[in-house]
Amino acid sequence: MTDTMIAPLAPAAPQNLLPLVPDLSWQENALCAQAGPEFFFPAPGSSTREAKQLCGACEGRVACLEYALAHDERFGVWGGLSEKERIRLKRVRG
């Protein structure tokens, strides 16, 4: 055993924790809040056309898509893109 002392970690200041909390304010005016989840999480093989049309008119579309990409959302339509489309976008972005 060595005589090395380890200093305790200082508590994190509240402002340092803010980046850990995602900004979800885009959800307040999101058009998807007015539609049922079946549009955005359709059964396998079902159309996502209606969800994508709704997303296309939504002011929160970009924030929604960025949230889905950052949190690795694997199911449903987010920001106007399906699961496969988001995977392709992530590959392109690197």
pLDDT tens across 27-85, in order? 998 999 999 899 899 998 899 999 999 999 999 999 999 999 999 999 999 999 999 99
- The residue behind tokens 């970009």 is 62
C-alpha distances in Å from residue 15, one per residue of 46, 81, 94: 44, 33, 30
Q: What is the pLDDT of residue 44?
A: 87
- What residues pair up with 78 in beta bridges, in sequence order? 81
55 has binding-site annotation:
yes
Alpha-carbon gap, residue 4 to 7, rounded angstroms: 10
The runs of H, that is alpha helices, within the chain are: 14-17, 37-40, 49-56, 61-70, 83-93
pLDDT tier at 88 (50, 70, 90 boundaries)?
Answer: very high
**Within a 10 A sphere around the Cβ of 6, how many other Cβ atoms?**
5
79 has binding-site annotation:
no
32 has binding-site annotation:
yes
On whether the CB atoms of residues 68 and 84 are closer than 8 A, the answer is no
